[in-house]
Each structure stands twice: as structure tokens, then as C-alpha cells.
Amino acid sequence: MNGGIFWLASYPKSGNTWTRTFLNALMRPEQGVDINKLNTGGIASSRSLIENALGLSLEESSSVEIELLRPIAYRFLHQQAQQPEYIKIHDAYVLNVQQQPLFPADAAKGVLYIVRHPYDVAVSFANHNGSSLQEAVDIMCRSDYRMSKSKIRLNSQVEQRLLSWSEHVRSWLDSPHRVHLMRYEDMQHSSLATFSALASFLEIGADISQIQNAIDACHFNKLKEKELQHGFREKPVKAPQFFRSGKVGEGAERLNKAQKQQLVSCHLHMMQRLDYVP
């Protein structure tokens, strides 16, 4: 199997962690599922990942300067990888000030893009941020939204441009990368077919029984129980719990009429494109 990077891209709270858990269960079944050891390849915005690839510190670098360096780091990582690296990414597919893509198509084998209904994303994102539902809805409609932006302290992750929810989705689906789209709803309702297609795209050799065993090992309720027993190091401080509900359709129940209308107004075309018809 040839090495290189596969991006596991998604807007936050769309199923990325669940996907990485499945990959661990599929590729390392003898180790069991340890949610605190999801060793698939890290996250693209990791400051240490980028610094190690470049061989220099980013401590004094501005966000603009870091964006100029990130494509160099990813090309190096892609070329050096002896085995496929499945790296999580929440950035949108964007260009730096020199109009270069932060994530060059020649520095990746492909992109798995995970998408989830925006109503459900809003509810999960509010829990993740420790915010109100309205604040989460507002963020999802902002073209200027960025994560890990701080002038007070040095974050373990570099700043990430998310754009709005639909702009994020469009940026990756219409990028020059080879993209495989996977819907969160299909991960739940058509698990075997969906995860089988995922394994094939990511060039992971596995038979049906192996895929089904991995699906069973990372059932949402099991992940939730593991977090209650052992904690989860990726849980934000403000979030009561990372693996909270995972329910399809919860947003339709919890968002009020005005919040739903706001999301539809902002994202109607992408919702229609993804068969998320209001």
C-alpha cells in the first residue's frame, strides 16, 4: 500500500471523530477501541504537526504567515508518509494571500468529506462550544468564522478558517481534489454499505465481516459509555460531554421556527444539493 495523505474533512460536529474511531477499530481490531488513542494521523491544524514538518517554530508567525507555510508542510508530510495517513481537518478549502490552496491537490491521495444536516450540526455545535442554540446558528451563517483564534495565548492548533456551513461544504466538494462524500445520516441508517464504501475509497482492504465488527465496536452508545468511564481528551472544556446524543433529527425537534428559517435562508441551495430538503 502506497503512503500519502487522505484528508478526513468536515465542518465541526459532523461525524469526524466517529469516522476516526471506526478506522481505528477496522485497522487495529486487536487493540480494541480506545477513544483517547485515535491514531489515524492527527489533525491538519496541529501546531506541532506543522512545526515538525517545517523544522521551525511558528510561535512568532502571524496567521497570514502560517497560511503561507502550511502547503509546504503538507507536501512534505504527503511525500514522507510510508503508509496512508488519515488526517482530520476542519478548515474549509481556502487560498492564502498568494492565492495558493492551503491543501494542494498534489499533496493528498483524496478527501473523505463528512457532512451532516445543519439542524443537527447546530445542536451539537452549541453543546461543543458551551453556547446557546442561537449562537451556534449564527456562527454557521458567518462567512468570517475562524477557530483557534486567540491573541491571549498560544493554541495547540493554528487558526482555521471555516467560512459558513454551506461555504465549507461547497469549498471541499467543488475543490480539485478527488472527493468521496459521506453523509452522517447514511452512517447511521445504511452503516454497512456506507462504511464499506469508505474503506474502499481509503484503500483499506477489509471484508464485510471485518467492517461489520468495526461498526459494532464503535456504536455511539459504546463511545458514550467509554467517555463516561475514562473521559475524552478531545472534549472542549466548555462542553458537558463530547459523545452526547448522536441522534439524527434532533435539530428539527430542538431548534425553534426562526432558527430553522435562518439556517434554510443561509444554506438552502446546499441543503437541496445534499437532499436535506427543508
Does 132 reside within a domain? Answer: no
3-state secondary structure of 156: coil
pLDDT in tens, 65-106: 999 999 999 999 999 999 999 999 999 999 999 999 999 999
Domain that holds residue 88: 4-118+143-239
State the SS3 of 174-209.
CCCCCEEEEEHHHHHHCHHHHHHHHHHHCCCCCCHH
pLDDT in tens, 258-277: 999 999 999 999 999 999 98
How many Cα atoms within 13 Å fall on the side-chain side of residue 195?
31
Assign 127 a pLDDT band (cuts: 50, 70, 90): confident
The pLDDT of residue 129: 85
The pLDDT of residue 149: 64
Does 254 reside within a domain? Answer: no
Whether residue 236 contacts residue 129, with contact meaning beta carbons closer than 8 Å, is answered with yes
Does 203 reside within a domain? Answer: yes
Closest by Cα among 162, 153, 194 to 9:
162
Enclosing H/E stretch for 77: helix 63-80
Report the share of the chain in percent with pLDDT over 90. 70
The pLDDT of residue 18: 87
Question: CA-based angle 188:148:231, to the nearest 5?
Answer: 50
Asked if pLDDT for residue 246 goes beyond 80, the answer is: no
In 202-256, alpha helices (H): 208-217, 220-230, 250-254
The pLDDT of residue 117: 97
Does 126 reside within a domain? Answer: no
Query: Is the pTM above the cut of 0.75?
Result: yes
The pLDDT of residue 223: 63
Rounded CA separation 166/118 (Å) = 9
Task: Give me the number of domains the chain comprises.
Answer: 1
From the CB of residue 175, how many other CB atoms can be counted at a distance below 10 Å? 19
Asked if pLDDT for residue 150 goes beyond 70, the answer is: no
Assign 153 a pLDDT band (cuts: 50, 70, 90): very low
The pLDDT of residue 31: 63
Asked if pLDDT for residue 152 goes beyond 70, the answer is: no
Rounded CA separation 170/116 (Å) = 13
Three cell numbers at 78? 504527503
3-state secondary structure of 28: coil
Using CA atoms, how far residue 45 sits from 38, 41, 74, 181, in Å, is 16, 12, 11, 21
Does 232 reside within a domain? Answer: yes
CA dihedral 115, 118, 121, 126 (to 10 degrees): 150
If you average pLDDT over residues 166-179, what whole number do you get? 98
Does 270 reside within a domain? Answer: no
If you average pLDDT over residues 141-154, what whole number do you get? 76
Q: How far is CA 227 from the centre of its chain?
A: 19
Does 59 reside within a domain? Answer: yes
Report the amino acid identity of residue 1: M
The pLDDT of residue 216: 87
Average pLDDT for the chain? 88
Assign 3 a pLDDT band (cuts: 50, 70, 90): confident
If you average pLDDT over residues 9-27, what whole number do you get? 91
Report the share of the chain in percent with pLDDT over 70. 83
Does 274 reside within a domain? Answer: no
If you average pLDDT over residues 147-152, what whole number do you get? 62
What CATH number corresponds to the domain at position 43? Answer: 3.40.50.300
Closest by Cα among 25, 14, 29, 154 to 88:
14
Q: What is the CA radius of gyration of the chain?
A: 18
If you average pLDDT over residues 231-252, what whole number do you get? 64
If you average pLDDT over residues 183-209, what whole number do you get? 95
